[in-house]
Amino acid sequence: MMKRLMVFTLILMLVSSSFGVFAAQEGKGGPPDISSRGKSGTRAFLDLETVAWGQNEAEEMASSGKLLGYEDHSFRPNNAVTHLEAITMIVRMMGWEDETYPATSKFDLDEIPEWGHPYVLIAESMGVFDETDAFEASSPATRQEVANYVVNAYGDNLPELKSPEGLAMRYTDDDLISEKYQVAVYQMKELGLMIGDHSARFNPTSSVRRIEMAMIMHRHCNTYRLRNLTGEEDNLRVSLLIDDETSRFNVAVDPAITAHFSKEVFYETPGDTFNATEVQEVLLFTEVEGDEIDYSVAIDDDLWTITPETLDYDTDYALIFDGEKIVDDEGQKLTEQTAFYFTTMEEPEYDELTLISVDPSDAQEDVPLDTEVVFTFSEPVKDEEGTLVLDSTVMETIEVYVKSGPDWEIVPQEDYEVDVNDEVWTLVFDEALEYNTLYRTGLKTDEIAAFLGESTFEFKTVGLSNLTFSPEGEEVAVDEPITLEFDTAVKDLEGDPFNVTDIAGFVTLEMNGDDVTYVAELLYDTDSTTITLVVGDYLTYGATYEITVDEDEILDGVEGALTHEFTVGEAPLEVSFNYPEEISLGLEEELLLDSLESITLLLDEDLDGFYDATGDALDNTTALDHVTLVKTGDETFTYNLDLSANTITLSSFDLLEAGEYVLTLEDIYYDAADLKLYLEETPLNFAFELIE
C-alpha cells in the first residue's frame, strides 16, 4: 500500500489579495476564509495529524500569509484541488496579485465563480494556459495539468535543467502521461517540485490534494531561497537539502542531508566556530514519534553535512535547530524556519526474493584481477529461519569455484570476503584471482529463504598482454629502430593509457650494464600498444644491449619474456684518404696546392655499388649530392667525381685556391639487398689545408 502519494504543486492562496477579501463560507463555493491564518507561536490548522509529514511546511506557509484555511481552522488537506484553485495558487505563488489584467478572456467567465475572475485573467495574460486549453473551473486538476500550469508560469525564468531535454529517468507509467504534458512533467521532476511515488510512478491523471499543493509551494519557496542565499545578507536562514533535493517524501533510508546557512554560523558568540560536539547540542535529529537518531556531521563554514546512522522505512523524522545558539558574525540568531520534517520511503515488497543484478554479469570475459563481484537482491537476504544474513553469517550462503582443467575446484574462503550492506553483497578477493581463468560464484539457495531465480554466475579474468620485441635477431644494424609490441592496450596501475613520458618508468635500455638514453615514440589503440625506442646518436658498433620491461608498473602484467638482448653488428667498411700517399682519416693536413690533381678515397674491399637511403644506385653525377668539397667560407665549387668498385675520386677542380677545405661524405650505402650504411658515422668530414 502506498501510504503517501507524492504529488507536489503550488500552495493555494485562496483569499485576501489586492482583489479584496472574500468571506465565503465553507460549502458555498468560494475560497476558504482568512480567519485561519497562522500567527506566531500558534497553530494555523487543527486537522493536519493525518499528514504529519507535511504539517511543518503547511504551517510555515500559513504563518507567511501565503496559505489560508477555513473558518473552523481546518485545512482539509486531503481535499482535491480544482482547476480554479490551482490557478489561484500559482498566481499567488508567482507574486502576480498586483499585476494589471485585461477585462476579457478566451474562456467563458460566466462559467467561472466571480471571485476567481482576476486570477484567471492574470494567469491568462502571463501565459499560464496553452492555446488549446479548456478550463473547467470546478473540476479537479490532475497532476499533469498542474505540472503544465507551473512550467508555463515559470516561462523564460525556468531554471536550467540537469538534463537539457528534462527527460532523464523516466517514470514507469510514462505511457500514461499525455504527449501534451510530457516535457512539463519531466521539467517539474528535474526541478524537484513534483516527483513520483516509491514505485517510480507519476500517476498523471490523479487529482492533486491541498496538502500536496502546500508542499509544492514550500518547495518552490525553499528552492529559490536556497538559490539566492549568497545574494542576500539580511536575516540568518537555513535551508535543508536531502539527496540534493528539497523533497521531503519518499526519502531513501541512507540519505545525504545538507544544511545550507545563508552566512557562516557560530556557536552562541560571533567568531566561535562550531565543532561536531557543539552541533550535536544545537541540532536534534529524531523520529517524530519515537527515539532520537544518532548522526555524524562534517562542517564546512556555512554547510553542514549530516549523516544519520540508521533510518527505518516509512517513518517520519524531524531535524530541529536551536536557533538561540546559532548566530552569524553580527550576533544575529537563527529565527526563521528551524524545524524540518521528512518521511522515508516505504519498504519495497516482493513476492519472492530475487537477484536483480550481478556485476560482472554472467559469462563476462576480460574481467580485471582486482574486480569485486556485486550482487543486488530485491530486498535484504534472510536465511531459511527468517534471520537477516549479515557479514558474520554470509559465508554460509555463498561459494566460489575456479575451473582447473575439466573440473571445478572450490576457492578457499580465506581468499575472499563478502561485505553485506542491506540488499547489496560485495564479494572482494584477496589477490586470489589469476589471469585468463574461469570462475563461478554460487549461492546456496537451500540456505536462503524464498529465493527465486538464477544462483550461479561465471566470469573469466583478463589474459596477460603478450610482449614481442623487434628486431628479433641477435644482431641488428646500427640505426635500426627498437620496438616493443604488446597485443593489448596496456595501461598503468591507475587504469589509464601510458603516455610518452611514462615509458621511461617501466622500460630501460642498457649497454654493457650502463643506462642508455633514448626517445620513446608511442602508438596506442584499443587493441595493441607499440613502443619505439630511438637512440639519439645511433647504437654503437659491436656493443651488446638489453631491454628490460618492469611488469609491476603495468596493469594486469605481461606474458612472456620481460628482457631482450641484442648485439649491434661490426663497423662497416673503412675509408682511406690518399694524397698522394695514404693518411689518417679526419686528420687535418697541410697539402701543397700545386701538387693536388685529385683526391682518392680508397675502400678496403670491392663493392657492388653505391646507393642512397631509398635504395637508388648512385652514379658519378648523382653522387655529387653525397660527396662535397667546400672551401671554408665559400660556396661549393665544381669538380668531377668517379666511382669505382673500391675508390671514390675527385678531380678536375675548378679554381682551387690556398685555404682550408672540408671534404664531406654523407648518406652513402652499400649492399643493394640490405642497404647497409657504408660510413661509420654520417656525415663524415675530412679537413685539410692547401698552401702555396
Instruction: Using DSSP, state whether 137 is helix, strand or coil.
Output: coil
**What is d(CA 138, CA 29) in angstroms, rounded to the nearest whole number?**
9
Is residue 42 scored above 60 in pLDDT?
no
| Segment 360-375 mean pLDDT | 83
| Phi-psi region at 351: left, alpha or beta (left = phi > 0; alpha = psi -120 to 50) | alpha
Instruction: Using DSSP, state whether 29 is helix, strand or coil.
Output: coil
DSSP string of 57-76, one letter each residue: HHHHHHHTTS----TTS---
pLDDT in tens, 652-676: 877 777 888 788 888 777 765 555 6
- C-alpha pair distances (Å), 684 with each of 574, 599, 668: 11, 15, 10
Closest CA to 477 of 676, 192, 232, 213: 676
Q: Is the N-terminal amide bond of 164 cis, ω within 30° of 0?
A: no
| Longest CA span, the chain | 134
**What is d(CA 179, CA 162) in angstroms, rounded to the nearest whole number?**
21
Is residue 213 scored above 60 in pLDDT?
yes
| Higher per-residue confidence, 586 vs 146 | 146
| Segment 225-229 mean pLDDT | 44
Mean pLDDT of the residues in the chain: 76
| Segment 255-276 mean pLDDT | 89
pLDDT in tens, 126-184: 999 998 888 999 999 999 999 999 989 888 766 555 443 444 457 778 888 998 998 88
- At residue 17, the pLDDT reads 29
Is residue 514 scored above 50 in pLDDT?
yes
DSSP string of 322-360, one letter each residue: -GGGEE-TT--B--S--EEEEEBPPPP--SSEEEEEEES
- At residue 560, the pLDDT reads 66
Is residue 202 scored above 70 in pLDDT?
yes
| Higher per-residue confidence, 541 vs 82 | 82
Query: Strand 659-665's sheet: what is its strand order?
Result: 589-592, 684-691, 659-665, 627-631
pLDDT in tens, 393-410: 888 889 899 888 888 899
| Higher per-residue confidence, 576 vs 688 | 688
**What is d(CA 423, CA 252) in angstroms, rounded to the nearest whole number?**
14
> Residue by residue, what is the 3-state secondary structure of 548-580?
EECHHHCCCCEECCCEEEEEECCCCCCEEEEEC
Q: For residue 156, what are the contacts with CB-CB under 8 A and spacing of at least 6?
A: none
- At residue 266, the pLDDT reads 93
Is residue 552 scored above 90 in pLDDT?
no
Is residue 366 scored above 70 in pLDDT?
yes
Percent with pLDDT over 70 in the chain: 77
Which of 191-200, 348-357, 580-589 has the lowest average pLDDT? 580-589
- C-alpha pair distances (Å), 528 with each of 470, 524, 543, 666: 15, 6, 31, 37
Three-point CA angle 36, 99, 110, nearest 5°: 75
Q: Determine contact, residues 223/246, Cβ cutoff 8 Å.
A: yes
Question: Would you state the cell numbers that stand for residue 407, as one nine-digit string?
Answer: 573440473
Is residue 466 scored above 80 in pLDDT?
no
Question: Would you state the cell numbers that stand for residue 528, as one nine-digit string?
Answer: 595493441
pLDDT in tens, 327-358: 998 899 887 667 887 888 777 655 578 888 88
- At residue 229, the pLDDT reads 38
pLDDT level of residue 493 (50, 70, 90 thresholds) = confident
- At residue 194, the pLDDT reads 82
- At residue 588, the pLDDT reads 43
- At residue 227, the pLDDT reads 46
pLDDT level of residue 267 (50, 70, 90 thresholds) = very high
Burial (Cβ within 10 Å: 0-12, 13-18, ≥19) of residue 3:
exposed
DSSP string of 276-314, one letter each residue: HHHHHHHEEEEETTS-B--EEEEEETTEEEEEES---TT
pLDDT in tens, 640-650: 898 887 788 88
pTM of the model: 0.37
Q: Are strands 482-486 and 529-534 parallel, antiparallel or unpaired?
A: antiparallel
**What is d(CA 176, CA 99) in angstroms, rounded to the nearest whole number?**
36
Is residue 246 scored above 60 in pLDDT?
no
| Segment 182-196 mean pLDDT | 80
pLDDT in tens, 404-445: 888 889 999 888 999 999 889 999 987 778 877 889 998 888
pLDDT level of residue 629 (50, 70, 90 thresholds) = confident
Is residue 305 scored above 80 in pLDDT?
yes
pLDDT level of residue 5 (50, 70, 90 thresholds) = very low
386: DSSP letter: S
- At residue 141, the pLDDT reads 94
**What is d(CA 323, CA 325) in angstroms, rounded to the nearest whole number?**
5
Is residue 378 scored above 70 in pLDDT?
yes
pLDDT in tens, 448-460: 877 877 788 888 8
- At residue 326, the pLDDT reads 93
- C-alpha pair distances (Å), 259 with each of 247, 393, 525: 14, 38, 47
Specify the amino acid at residue 2. M
Is residue 84 scored above 90 in pLDDT?
yes
- At residue 33, the pLDDT reads 36
pLDDT level of residue 678 (50, 70, 90 thresholds) = low
Which of 1-15, 189-203, 536-550, 600-614 has the lowest average pLDDT? 1-15
Is residue 83 scored above 90 in pLDDT?
yes
Is residue 547 scored above 70 in pLDDT?
yes
Q: Go through the domains of the chain in sequence order and give each one's CATH number.
A: 34-222 (no CATH), 228-343 (2.60.40.1220), 353-461 (2.60.40.1220), 465-568 (2.60.40.3710), 575-691 (2.60.40.1220)
Backbone angles phi, psi at 182, to 5 degrees: -50, -55
pLDDT level of residue 231 (50, 70, 90 thresholds) = very low
Is residue 124 scored above 80 in pLDDT?
yes
Instruction: Using DSSP, state whether 512 is helix, strand or coil.
Output: coil
238: DSSP letter: E
Top-confidence range, 193-197, 298-302, 351-355, 590-594: 298-302
Is residue 472 scored above 80 in pLDDT?
no
